[in-house]
Amino acid sequence: MVLLALQPEPTRLVETASARVVPSAKAVRTLLISEQARRFLVLQYRSFPTEFMGCMIGEVRGRTVIVHRIAPADVDPPQSTTTHVVPQQTCEEAGWTGTVGTIHSHPSGDRCWYLFPGTQVSSSDAASFLRQPYPVDAIMCGDHVVWASRDLVQNQVPLTDQSKRTAAHEQQRGNRIHAGSGSRTGAGE
């Protein structure tokens, strides 16, 4: 006699890269960043004149991603310039478990968006994100983090007390911002 134990497949916390854009009803709507991760991001942003990349380590709870800490991505220094950064391997291959997304910086603090303002045209940041398996992606942009979920709805999270005074707002996919690509924030200034 053979005893066969069946268990349901574990729920995957991460959509596969082939999923590309997911319906809004399933997409992450909240990104919570721990104080430790916030401090690390602020220090990293101040320290590098080139783009840096990190692995957001945390968990997914329903439609919320909680980032507990930021782990350094495996980046070869020549692959980090003022306008791009390319990791040598994935966060998991670098030894990090619990990765919920990647974050990179824009040292100049501009062009922090996933869709070009006023369009539904994906930026290179959106194209890179859609090739990744994670539920969220983020851009460190001065005193705030711009992030997107799998449906490419863009949001902002303040990192400092000064930026916390400004209310975070959600921009719809294909946001209707008309400030143009020269805008630092993607919003009218």
Taking only the tens place, the pLDDT of each residue in 79-108 is 999 988 999 999 999 999 999 999 999 998
Architecture of the structural domain at 21-164: 3-Layer(aba) Sandwich (3.40)
Report pTM.
0.72
pLDDT per residue over 158-186, tens digit each?
Answer: 988 764 444 444 455 554 444 444 445 55
Query: Among 8-12, 66-70, 97-101, 178-182, whose mean pLDDT is lowest?
Result: 8-12
E strand residue ranges, the chain: 30-33, 53-61, 64-72, 75-80, 85-87, 99-105, 136-141, 144-149, 154-158
Query: Among 25-34, 66-75, 118-127, 158-167, whose mean pLDDT is lowest?
Result: 158-167
CA distances from 147 to 33, 41, 106, 125 (A): 11, 14, 13, 10
Give bridge partners of residue 157 from the DSSP assignment: 145
